[in-house]
Structure 1
Amino acid sequence: MTFQERPLDRDASSVGAAGGRDTVPTPTSNSVAVHLNGLRRRFGGVQALDNLDLEMAPGELIALLGPSGCGKTTALRVLAGLEDADSGRVLVGGKDITELPANRRDMGMVFQAYSLFPHLTALQNVEFGLGLRRVRSAQRRERAGAMLDLVGIGTHADRYPHQLSGGQQQRVALARALAIQPQVLLLDEPLSALDAKVRVQLRDEIRRIQLEVGTTTLFVTHDQEEALAVADRVGVMRAGRLEQLGPPDEVYQRPSTAFVADFVGLSNRLPGTVSGDRVEVLGTALPLVPGAASGIGSGAVNALVRPEAVDLAVDPDGRGRVLAASFLGPTSRVSVAMPDETMVVAQVASALLPELAPGTAVRIELRPVPVVVEAA
């Protein structure tokens, strides 16, 4: 058994809250559907895109998530026109733009690097794209000012990039991308260079602005929490293909493959036995995610169980022994050793930590949450 930790500090209820939107994207007259159809792209011996299909509804924000080299940035660059696909088509608003150069695709882009002109003020940076489109000076200034207000730094319009913090520079870059009123907004890991607190603040601002403006948006990130927090749908990529595409709560709570369950969030790998549509793990019969045992059949497997689906209770007769605990604020993760050398990690309220000192005997119970399995 292995326990693989990913940078995602949330429990199932918080993910459900993030995935179940109180607001939905509001398409505007400028919102368009996007369809990536059968895209293939190879770099030497690496298949970056392998017959990738992706449909985006008007005004939708889709986040592409996956490990390095999975093809998520290549997909964005092909959509932007910065890379040519070996085969396949790119359609925006029903129009085939596969052969159009990047400067004719009407897309706004924000990258990890802020790419601001150092000799221009924030306002002038935002005006730049409008100037290329020959928008009149007064209209440029009005539009740029409105965009800076939208991203929350209108009072910094006359500052140069070196006078702005990293988060403020990224807001200017976002305002510049939105100022041209693009059909599609492309965000390529725009927050990865920022510190954690600013990253959370700005990701929430990006979501607020995207909902307000209604622009169809593709957001590429390696940060699972970002993807789950901002997207209408999350696409998990692997080796150039989509492993799963769905609402954030569905991807987290009902992963379609062991890869998705392992990559998104935290997972215990626990030995179990499949029989029919259930798997027995630590003496508890757990339901399987539909199709989870496809190609595996009955017999010995590893079940991927979320830490928040593990309950602990102090019990002198319990079979488990607490090894260690990690304090994470309102919740903590507790590692428990079982007699067969299996280690189980549970997520508990931090208020319970005083009862769970190392060496404490505990009883483990698994909640009947659907799980995915992989061959043992």
Structure 2
Amino acid sequence: MTETTAATEAAARAGVEVRLENLTRRYGAVTALDGLDLTLHKGEFVALLGPSGCGKTTALRLLAGLEDADGGRVVVDGKDVTRLPTNKRDMGMVFQAYSLFPNMTARQNVAFGLRLRGVDAAKRDAKAAEMLDLVGLSKQVDRFAHQMSGGQQQRVALARALAIQPTVLLLDEPLSALDAKVRAALRDEIRRVQLEVGITTLFVTHDQEEALAIADRVGVMNAGRLEQLAPPADVYHRPATPFVAEFVGLSNKLPAVVSGAQADVLGVRLPLVDPTTADGEAVALVRPEAVTITTTPEGAATTPLDGQVVATAFLGAISRITVDLGDAGPVLVQLPTSEAAAYPIGSAARIGLRPDPVLVTR
């Protein structure tokens, strides 16, 4: 087979549509998935995000065929695969545990799936070398697992999953066992490889930073249901539900009064994420970076936006300052660390609210 033919075949196999239709899964009295509907477009990278027990891993396992659904369908490239066994679904899987064969080199691990498929030795070795080069391990092809770092082992696992040219790539918290710096580098590498190969990918994680950083769309799950599925910026800036607003990022909870499709928050009128919200008293969810801070002018009349700095958290390039507003409670303000020194603990401060759309809850 020529390189051109191989590339054409790979392109034809990549980028299939995946649909999870009304999937239900129960474990005794516990409903892990409650009528889940989820579509992955061709070549799309979707991340499922949520707390432990929300159903995200169950959804991936049903797609992989590792578990049977109690109801609903799994459709891949227009074909109903709900009752097909795992080995008939043509999917590549990478899990939290690297699961490399300790007695095999990186090249042999990557070639293992091809050997099971009857590919001759020369072709599978060439393919393994190609995949290891794709994930940046061309110099480690003959190393055993114990001779590689955790990040390198996970790259081998990714290369092994891609070597069989699967129709769908499934990633189940593949970075959670790695340290922060390696995790950030490898997540970017996974995204680069996914874009280069063009494969439809489902990525399950509890780490919101990972999901927001590399996914085309993020699905936030709660109690077996999909609360929101949207591009990362929309999930963060325009959360569909209070659960999404509180799970993804941090939010200040401030007293508000809704009227005329706006919220009056501490005397500041802010637009609503949902303009159809009913009038009345509510709680506005305001992001810390949407809060500004200045020094309270001497002799100025006190306003609901005035308070006292009671804490500062150093987070590297940014810092979070806590301002106690009295009856309105504490408010987090996020700002560059270079500016935080101007507001020492105990100092008087006045906050401001950026006119971003806010979600309210009752």
Deviation per residue, 1:99-155 (Å, 9 max, x gap): 100011000000000000011011000000000111110000000000000101110
Kindly indicate whether residue 335 of structure 2 is the aligned counterpart of residue 348 of structure 1. Answer: yes
Q: Verify the 8 A CA contact 2:255 2:328 in the aligned structure 1.
A: no
Q: What secondary structure, in the 3-state scheme, does the structure 1 residue paired with 2:139 have?
A: helix
Q: Verify the 8 A CA contact 1:48 1:74 in the aligned structure 2.
A: yes
> Which one of the candidate residues 208, 214, 217 is aligned to 1:230?
214
Indicate the residue corresponding to 2:25 in structure 1.
Answer: 41
Q: Residues 247-326 of structure 1 correspond to what in structure 2 (within 5 A)?
A: 247-290=231-274, 293=277, 297-315=278-296, 316=298, 317=300, 319-326=306-313
Q: Verify the 8 A CA contact 2:254 2:328 in the aligned structure 1.
A: no
Indicate the residue corresponding to 1:57 in structure 2.
Answer: 41
Displacement after TM superposition at 1:359 (Å): 1.2
Q: What secondary structure, in the 3-state scheme, does the structure 1 residue paired with 2:341 have?
A: helix
Indicate the residue corresponding to 2:351 in structure 1.
Answer: 364
How many Å separate the matches in 2 of 1:302 and 1:350? Answer: 29
Query: Which one has the largest radius of gyration?
Result: 2
Displacement after TM superposition at 1:272 (Å): 1.1
Q: Verify the 8 A CA contact 1:292 1:372 in the aligned structure 2.
A: no
How many Å separate the matches in 1 of 2:41 and 2:58? Answer: 20
Indicate the residue corresponding to 1:28 in structure 2.
Answer: 11
Structure 1: 4+ residue segments shifted above 6 A: none
Deviation per residue, 1:224-260 (Å, 9 max, x gap): 0000011000000011111000100011010011110
Give the partner amino acid of 2:286.
Answer: V
Displacement after TM superposition at 1:275 (Å): 1.2
How many Å separate the matches in 1 of 2:84 and 2:180? Answer: 38
Q: Verify the 8 A CA contact 1:257 1:292 in the aligned structure 2.
A: no
Give the RMSD, CA atoms, in angstroms.
1.1
Indicate the residue corresponding to 2:3 in structure 1.
Answer: none
Identity of aligned residues (%): 64
Q: What secondary structure, in the 3-state scheme, does the structure 2 residue paired with 1:41 have?
A: strand
TM-score, normalised relative to structure 2: 0.94
How many Å separate the matches in 2 of 1:239 and 1:114? Answer: 28
Indicate the residue corresponding to 1:115 in structure 2.
Answer: 99
Deviation per residue, 1:324-368 (Å, 9 max, x gap): 111112211000001325100000111112210011111111011
Q: Verify the 8 A CA contact 2:262 2:275 in the aligned structure 1.
A: no
Give the partner amino acid of 1:244.
Answer: Q
How many Å separate the matches in 2 of 1:360 and 1:210? Answer: 50
> Which one of the candidate residues 152, 156, 161 is aligned to 2:136?
152
Q: Residues 208-219 of structure 1 correspond to what in structure 2 (within 5 A)?
A: 208-219=192-203
Give the partner amino acid of 1:300.
Answer: E
Kindly indicate whether residue 184 of structure 2 is the aligned counterpart of residue 200 of structure 1. Answer: yes
Deviation per residue, 1:87-107 (Å, 9 max, x gap): 100000000001100011000
> Which one of the candidate residues 339, 348, 351 is aligned to 2:326?
339
Q: What secondary structure, in the 3-state scheme, does the structure 2 residue paired with 1:269 have?
A: strand
Q: Verify the 8 A CA contact 1:28 1:59 in the aligned structure 2.
A: no
Displacement after TM superposition at 1:276 (Å): 2.8
Q: 1:260 to 1:291 in 2, by over 3 A?
A: farther
Give the partner amino acid of 1:100.
Answer: L
Greater RCO structure (CA 8 Å; 6+ sep): 1
Displacement after TM superposition at 1:291 (Å): 5.5
Kindly indicate whether residue 121 of structure 2 is the aligned counterpart of residue 137 of structure 1. Answer: yes
Q: Verify the 8 A CA contact 1:320 1:361 in the aligned structure 2.
A: yes
Q: What secondary structure, in the 3-state scheme, does the structure 1 residue paired with 2:12 have?
A: coil
Select between 314-323 and 144-153 the one with higher mean Cα deviation: 314-323
Structure 2, unpaired ranges of 5+ = 1-9
Indicate the residue corresponding to 1:327 in structure 2.
Answer: 314
Structure 1, unpaired ranges of 5+ = 1-26
How many Å separate the matches in 1 of 2:115 and 2:66? Answer: 22
Deviation per residue, 1:269-301 (Å, 9 max, x gap): 1111111311111111111102573xxx22221
Give the partner amino acid of 1:276.
Answer: G
TM-score, normalised relative to structure 1: 0.90
Aligned length: 346
How many Å separate the matches in 1 of 2:238 and 2:171? Answer: 26
Give the partner amino acid of 2:295.
Answer: V
Q: What secondary structure, in the 3-state scheme, does the structure 2 residue paired with 1:251 have?
A: helix
Q: Verify the 8 A CA contact 1:32 1:58 in the aligned structure 2.
A: yes
Give the partner amino acid of 2:210.
Answer: E
Q: Verify the 8 A CA contact 1:314 1:356 in the aligned structure 2.
A: yes
